[in-house]
Each structure stands twice: as structure tokens, then as C-alpha cells.
Structure 1
Amino acid sequence: MRFTKMHGAGNDYVYVNCFAEPVPADIPATAIAVSDRHFGIGGDGLVLIGPSDKADARMRMFNADGSEAEMCGNAVRCVAKFVHDHGICRKDELRIETGRGVLTLQLLVEGGSVHRVRVNMSSPILRSADIPTTLPGDPPVRAPLEVAGRKLEVTCVSMGNPHCVTFVDQITDEWVHGVGPQIEKHPAFPRKINAEFVQVLSRSEINMRVWERGSGETLACGTGACASAVAAILNGLCDRTVLCHLPGGDLTLEWSEGGDVFMTGPATEVFSGVWNPSGAVR
């Protein structure tokens, strides 16, 4: 199986061009194997790029534990770069089919290759039942949540996948690695959830770390950054354009007056290779 390793702000996945390669027979098992950072290729998961009957390409994304996710903001930017740079569709604006629906992406091209991508992430989902969560409120803002012996106030948002945002004075490993996994699997979230921990720096700037559902801590989460910006705005902490600092790099988020959230960030191709059934890379 030929693959390409790519990352968006350090959120790295193994990408397979299913225009040219067959879809793996057992996708969850393949995702687990290739994601292993010691015995596999190494990554936060597996992304399949294939044909679509409604867009320029279709993206399917699988976490490092083999579970399929609805959407990944960093991955969809990399899919757009791959589709453009590898000649599948060389346009400056692409439509990519995702589990969230068809998204429109504007490509910032330099020297014939894509360096940054602006994505219309569509409108945030704010109704509790649709996120989904059993926490009160539509949207659930400053909702009470008891977890890990703490009484938290959280804000929940879906960007096609669910997010639980907690605002903290300082983001620590105790929050991310101690509290994050317990939020992920809390019974208030019937499909589990991504847990973001956010420090507000100003009306236009935040720091964020994330414990991702099915993958653990990652260096960046595009949908999580969008959800964190929306949560900060809903809580009256930020204006509608927010610069989000993540361990892997920066993303710019804008929640437009029309309701859609726009995300701009990098997309980087690292290397390509071949994965064989025994798990070796060459």
C-alpha cells in the first residue's frame, strides 16, 4: 500500500490515494497498525482520499484506535493539498466530501504547491441533542460537569464531531492527560467527545491543547480550534476572529456574521513510502 505522510500544524496522518490504491480490506486494523509510532509509520490516524460523486474528492478519516471520525479540520487541509499537488484536481478552490458534508476550501498556492488552506467549516452545531450531549442548554454554555473529582463549567460545540471546551487559567498536563480522558468517556457524551483546554490571552488570541477522542493528545485539532473559538465567543471572552496557538502551530478562526466558521492554516507533505502486510515500510 503506497502512502504519504502529511501534517497540518503537527496533527499528522497517513494518507492513502484511493484514486490509485485499493481501499484496505480491514480499514480499522490498518489504521491501528500504520498509526503505531514504534512499529508502524506513525501518526494520529489514517485518511483515505477517494472519488466522490458530489465533490472533487472524498475524505474518510480513522483515529489511531481504528474508530472512524466524522471530520478533521487539519486532515481536510492536507487532503486539499494532496489533491492539488498530485494532479488529481488542480484548482485553487476545491470541494471535499467529508462526514460533515461537502466543504469548500480555498488553496493558497506558492511555486505550484499548496502551503496554506482556508476552509469553510460550515456552521457550528449548538443544539445539545445534536452535539450530542445530555448536558443542559441549547447551546450548552457554562454547563456543570463533575469529572475527576472536579466540578467544571464546560461549553459544548460540534463542528461535525463533538467537542467539550474547558477554560482554564493555565493549561497543564494534569488537565490534558488527567482530566481529558475522563471527559472523553464521560456518560454525558453518548458518542464520546474531544476535550479542549483553553487559556484566553486576549479578545483575539487563545492557547489550546486537546485530548482527542480515539487518539489521545495531538499537537493540533482543527475542529477543536474552531469549537474553542466558538465557545470563547459564546462565553463573551473573544471577538469573532481568533488566533489559536496549539503545540504544533497556529490556526486562524473566524466565526462570520453569516454563521459559518472559517479556518486558515498550513498543510505539509513529509514523505511517501510503501506499507506491506507485515508492517514494514520501505
Structure 2
Amino acid sequence: MSKAGAHVVRFSKMHGAGNDFVVLDLRDGSAPPTPALAARLADRHTGVGCDQILTIEPPRAEGSVASYRIWNADGSNSEQCGNGARCIAAWLVRDGSAQGPRFSIDSPLDTHPVEVLGEGRYAVTMGVPVFEPARIPLVGFAHPREEYLLPLQGESVRFAAVSMGNPHAVIEVGLVDAAPVERLGPLLQQHASFPQSVNVGFAQVMDPGHARLRVYERGSGETLACGSGACAAAVTLMQRGRLQRQARISLPGGELGIDWPGDGQPVVMSGPTAFVFEGEWIA
């Protein structure tokens, strides 16, 4: 029984390759969650539990089915979420709002074409990677480089950097299972060179068509998967000739496909979605 005056939040719990979400339909005009409410919803002990909260809202671009916004587990906002985009697409297909094999959805930054692949899989066009340091943003470097070098607590850290609508640093490692994710992830996120913080990926190239990846995300910590992080790792490795232009990225929660023709072209990410349960949370 709910408490008198309590606010009931209806939600769908979903995940894409283990990256899990609480999805809220706000198309009836309901207010979006405050940062405090988002953090309470995301709490895995006292809330529903998730990496991010996604809100479905009316479309902003002509021809789009809907738009979505993203809150991290700490209540902060995010500009992009690749696994979340696929889950939003799957939610809209199940709802009947999106029909046919192709449609578009609006993220906080752009409009993204979606292709329905079947069996819960979707391909989302994620946009053109941005390598200019000022636009990532990455402070202290005037021009793009394949690799950057920063001193970090007595050691030099080499990484690639790119924006996929949100900032990413990608560190290539010899063995991803032994990567210092919990140590270097927070240190890079707090570094003054990343004024908006950064998602930190640790990538191991297995062969020219396959890499493994772990990602320490802004506002959420290490997650089982990160769609924009998979795109970032793939394009930086492709740019250096370490991966082919079509590659599989294996994350702890599942596998994503990344297709990037080259500079100036958008990245297409494909992968699974899953509905976990529907529920009501009393705020």
C-alpha cells in the first residue's frame, strides 16, 4: 500500500548488453526527475537500481518518433548513451509508437536513425566522431593526435581521445582483465585536462576484427557495457590501423558491432536489447 501523498513512478527496467536502465515515459507531460530523484531511483540498495535513467519525451525533430534524455546513477546528466538509444528504440517498437524497419529518435544532441535488425537487436547511427581536443573537450593540446600523454601520479598515461557526443579517453592495454580500471578511471576523470570529466575505456585488441573493452563511466563507475565507449574505442583503434573498419567489441555484459567507414562519416553501432521487468516505485 502506498503512503498518502506519495509520488508513484512507473517505469520499465531494461538493459543493453548488461548496461541497465530505468526507462520513464514522460510523453504525457510528467516532469522529468530531479537529480536527487534520479540518484535515488538508480540506487541498487534503496531504489530500482541502474546505470542510467532514460526519459522518453516528445520528438524535437520533424519525422522523429520521440526524444530521450539521460541521467547518470549519481543524478548528473549525460549527452549520449548508445546502449540506451537501442533500449529506447526497443521500447518505442513494443509501445507501437515506432513502426517499420527504420525510424529516428532524438538524443540530447542529435537525431539518430535506427534500423530494426530482429530478435531484439537494433542498429543506431551514432554520429560523426570528433577528434579536435577543444571539442572533446581536452585542455592543453592544440591539435588532434592519435595518442596523448599525461603525467598522472608519478606515471605517464597514454590514451586516445574522442567525443561521441560525450568525451572519451581510450587506453590500449595488453590484458583487459588486469587493466587498472578502478585506479586510472577516477584519476583521469578528475584530471584538469578533462573539464567535463571523461568516460575512460581500456581496450585489448584480440585480432583485426575484434577487441575487448572495459569502461569506467562518468557518474556511474564501471558498467557492464557502454555503447558510446565501444564506438570511441573502435574508432580510435581503427584510426591507428589496429582494427578493421567493421569490428566486434566485447564488453563484460555482451558484444556490440561497430561500423565506421572513416573520417567525416558517422559510426553505426548494433547490439541487443532486453526488457527485464515493469514496475512502480514510490518516491
- TM-score (ref. length: structure 2): 0.92
In the TM superposition, what is the alpha-carbon distance from 1:202 to its structure 2 partner? 1.0
In the TM superposition, what is the alpha-carbon distance from 1:223 to its structure 2 partner? 0.4
User: For residues 184-203 of structure 1, what are the alpha-carbon distances to aligned partners after superposition, in whole Å with 9 as ceiling and x for unaligned?
Assistant: 11111010000000111111
Q: Which moved more, 1:153-162 or 1:51-60?
A: 51-60
Q: 1:49 touches 1:58 (CA, 8 Å); kept in 2?
A: yes
Partner of 1:8: 16
Partner of 2:152: 147
Partner of 2:105: 96
Partner of 1:274: 280
Find the aligned partners of 1:5 and 1:21 in 2 and give their Cα distance: 21
1:134 aligns with 2:142: no
1:124 aligns with 2:105: no
Q: Map residues 169-180 of structure 1 onto 2, 5 A cutoff.
A: 169-172=174-177, 175-180=180-185
Can you give the 5+ residue segments of structure 2 that lack an aligned partner in the other structure? 1-8
Instruction: Report percent identity of matched pairs.
Output: 39
1:63 aligns with 2:72: yes
In the TM superposition, what is the alpha-carbon distance from 1:148 to its structure 2 partner? 3.7
In the TM superposition, what is the alpha-carbon distance from 1:269 to its structure 2 partner? 0.7
Q: Map residues 239-254 of structure 1 onto 2, 5 A cutoff.
A: 239-254=244-259
Partner of 1:181: 186
Q: 2:122 touches 2:271 (CA, 8 Å); kept in 1?
A: yes
Write the letter of the residue equivalent to 2:94.
Answer: D
Partner of 2:54: 47
Find the aligned partners of 1:174 and 1:106 in 2 and give their Cα distance: 34
1:161 aligns with 2:166: yes
Secondary structure, counterpart of 1:99 in structure 2: coil
Query: Would the alpha carbon gap of residues 62 and 275 (structure 1) be closer, same or farther in structure 2, given more than 3 Å must change?
Result: same
In the TM superposition, what is the alpha-carbon distance from 1:91 to its structure 2 partner? 2.9
- TM-score (ref. length: structure 1): 0.92
User: For residues 94-151 of structure 1, what are the alpha-carbon distances to aligned partners after superposition, in whole Å with 9 as ceiling and x for unaligned?
Assistant: 21111221010101234xxxx0000111110111100000143642321111224321
In the TM superposition, what is the alpha-carbon distance from 1:174 to its structure 2 partner? 5.5
Q: Map residues 252-267 of structure 1 onto 2, 5 A cutoff.
A: 252-257=257-262, 259-267=265-273
Find the aligned partners of 1:128 and 1:16 in 2 and give their Cα distance: 34
Write the letter of the residue equivalent to 2:76.
Answer: S
Find the aligned partners of 2:215 and 2:52 in 1 and give their Cα distance: 15
Which of the residues 75, 88, 109 maps onto 1:79? 88
Q: 1:92 touches 1:109 (CA, 8 Å); kept in 2?
A: no
Partner of 1:27: 34
Q: Which moved more, 1:222-231 or 1:136-145?
A: 136-145
Write the letter of the residue equivalent to 2:210.
Answer: E
Can you give the 5+ residue segments of structure 1 that lack an aligned partner in the other structure? 278-282
Find the aligned partners of 2:193 and 2:146 in 1 and give their Cα distance: 14
Write the letter of the residue equivalent to 1:261.
Answer: V
1:229 aligns with 2:234: yes
Partner of 2:26: 18
In the TM superposition, what is the alpha-carbon distance from 1:254 to its structure 2 partner? 0.8
Write the letter of the residue equivalent to 2:19.
Answer: N
Q: 2:214 touches 2:251 (CA, 8 Å); kept in 1?
A: yes
Find the aligned partners of 1:108 and 1:239 in 2 and give their Cα distance: 22
Q: 1:32 touches 1:45 (CA, 8 Å); kept in 2?
A: no
Query: Would the alpha carbon gap of residues 244 and 152 (structure 1) be closer, same or farther in structure 2, given more than 3 Å must change?
Result: same
Find the aligned partners of 1:91 and 1:49 in 2 and give their Cα distance: 19
Q: 1:93 touches 1:107 (CA, 8 Å); kept in 2?
A: yes
